[in-house]
Amino acid sequence: MNPSKEKLLNEAYQKFLDIGLSIDSSMDNLEVYIDKDVMGYGTTLDEKILSFSGFRELMHRQREQSEGLQMEWKLNPVLRRVLPQENAAVYADDILLKITMAHETVEMRLRCSVVMEFKKDTWVVIHWHASKPEAVTSEEDTFGLEEWKTKNEALEKKVAEKTAQLQQSLNDLKATQAQLIQSEKMASLGELTAGIAHEIQNPLNFVNNFSEVSIELLNEMEEAILKSDRDEINAISTDIKQNLEKINHHGKRADAIVRGMLQHSQSSTGKKEPTDINALCDEYLRLSYHGLRAKDKSFNATIKTDFDNSIGSIKIIPQDIGRVILNLLTNAFYVVNEKKQQKIEGYEPTVSISTKKSVDKIEIRVSDNGNGIPQKVLDKIFQPFFTTKPTGQGTGLGLSLSYDIVKAHGGELKVETKEARRPW
Ligand SMILES: Nc1ncnc2c1ncn2[C@@H]1O[C@H](COP(=O)(O)OP(=O)(O)OP(=O)(O)O)[C@@H](O)[C@H]1O
Ligand SMILES: [Mg+2]
């Protein structure tokens, strides 16, 4: 075959492949390369083309389906054959097609054979047959992509369903958690109310009883005045005085309870300021020790301090942290004093306070060699109004308040105990 005729043949074949496989190739002048009676089989069962218009429709359909896809293809020539009269040629290729869709690439193989006829000085395609080794059964799915998409969608749907399920469990979990927190709040509110009622009821009973008795005493006194019985008048007046002192004492108790509660409910008015923690501990140590000694002259205890001098000053609300330290120390002094009353041989009441700096926190530790805290007490020590002290000696608000203060400072208040320690 002369070279120009061969060149035309190759050009016509190339153009046919371009039209079929490069979706952005021009569809102009199709009739130059495609015979008006072209007959062909496409890759799917229903792609059976019997005319030029059928071919054009197929190409349009294919382009619509392939919108947004990127296609690359590579030929692996199988056959190049020209008939002896040089008026017809058969070309066959294995084609590797790479289709990229949304960052994913699928590869597929096509087998394609094309028959071209030399008519009026040009080569036109009169027949072609393209097939895919995999079976594809729909006219809508030339490249078998629909099937792939469907699988993908089913998978995505499953993932979405699972995600929705997980989201639902998460929501349920959050709701349950919120409910738990709420009911805990309600429980502690109920406890608090019961606690307040109980705490205030007790001093109020005293106030009521002693005032009632005092009224009776005053009636008796009126009679004594009428009788001018001086001795009786004096005796009754002494009783009334004692009663009034008791009323006053229990009134003050109620007052302390109410004040403690107010401290609990009010947010601190103090400001954070750089504070020398060691000096603060020292100050409150003296305050609590001498406070106790003022009440009970016989009280004394060994005091141990171990301050970390590298701490420097740190930002806290000094009066609030001071209150925490004071309460811890008061509790400690109280228990060692109690244990001392047991007259255990060799027992020396000891209270220690130490400070220590670590990477991101400061630790203040107050310890005592009292009897320790039994488990059933340990469970409740941070509850408001929980106290094991006799009436009038503690409101049971010390640790609960301390807990809140430490928490407000972003810290932790922890307790360690060993029950029934040996005397040091
Ligand atoms: N160092 C300690 N050793 C043994 N038990 C303690 C110690 N500190 C506290 N407790 C127990 O915890 C209880 C609650 O302490 P908290 O400081 O809250 O109240 P309180 O000291 O009883 O009363 P308040 O501090 O209001 O005067 C105490 O009554 C006591 O039983
Ligand atoms: Mg206390």
| Structure confidence by residue, pLDDT tens digits, 215-256 | 999 999 999 999 999 999 999 999 999 999 999 999 988 888
The finding on whether 109 has its CB within 6 A of some atom of ligand 1 is: no
pLDDT of 59 over the 60 cut: yes
The finding on whether 395 has its CB within 6 A of some atom of ligand 1 is: yes
Rounded Cα distance, 418 and 277, in Å: 27
Rounded Cα distance, 417 and 335, in Å: 13
The finding on whether 386 has its CB within 6 A of some atom of ligand 1 is: yes
Q: Which CATH number fits domain 268-424: 3.30.565.10, 3.40.50.720, 1.10.3720.10, 3.40.50.300?
A: 3.30.565.10
Please identify, by atom number, the ligand 1 atom nearest to the C-alpha of residue 328: 8
What are the pLDDT digits (tens) for 150-207? Answer: 888 888 888 889 899 899 888 888 887 777 766 666 665 666 666 667 778 888 999 9
User: What does pLDDT average to over the chain?
Assistant: 87
Rounded Cα distance, 98 and 100, in Å: 7
The finding on whether 336 has its CB within 6 A of some atom of ligand 1 is: no
Ligand 1 centroid–CA 48 distance in Å is 94
| SS3 at position 414 | coil
The finding on whether 373 has its CB within 6 A of some atom of ligand 1 is: yes
Report the nearest-CA residue for atom 31 of ligand 1. Answer: 388
136-140, 171-175, 358-362 — most confident range = 358-362
Please identify, by atom number, the ligand 1 atom nearest to the C-alpha of residue 330: 21
Ligand 2 centroid–CA 244 distance in Å is 28
The finding on whether 402 has its CB within 6 A of some atom of ligand 1 is: no
pLDDT of 421 over the 60 cut: no
CB 73 within 8 A of CB 98: yes
- Two tokens at 32? 């130059």
Rounded Cα distance, 406 and 324, in Å: 8
Closest-lying ligand to the alpha carbon of 382? Answer: 1
Listing DSSP states for 344-380 in one string gives: -TT---EEEEEEEEETTEEEEEEEE-S----HHHHTT
**Predicted TM-score (pTM) of this structure:** 0.50
The finding on whether 394 has its CB within 6 A of some atom of ligand 1 is: yes
CB 325 within 8 A of CB 282: no
pLDDT of 397 over the 50 cut: yes
What are the pLDDT digits (tens) for 303-338? Answer: 999 999 999 999 999 888 998 999 999 999 999 999
Q: Which amino acid is at 83?
A: L
Which residues place a Cβ less than 5 A from the ion ligand 2? 327, 331, 398
pLDDT bin (cut points 50, 70, 90) of residue 422 is very low
Which residues have CB under 8 Å from 405's CB, separation 6+? 268, 317, 320, 321, 323, 324
The CATH code for residues 3-131 is 3.10.450.50
pLDDT bin (cut points 50, 70, 90) of residue 214 is very high
For tokens 């199988």, the residue is 78
Listing DSSP states for 210-224 in one string gives: HHHHHHHHHHHHHHH
What are the pLDDT digits (tens) for 252-303? Answer: 888 887 877 776 666 567 889 999 999 999 988 988 888 788 778 888 899 9
Rounded Cα distance, 264 and 272, in Å: 18
**Higher confidence at residue 219 or residue 138?**
219
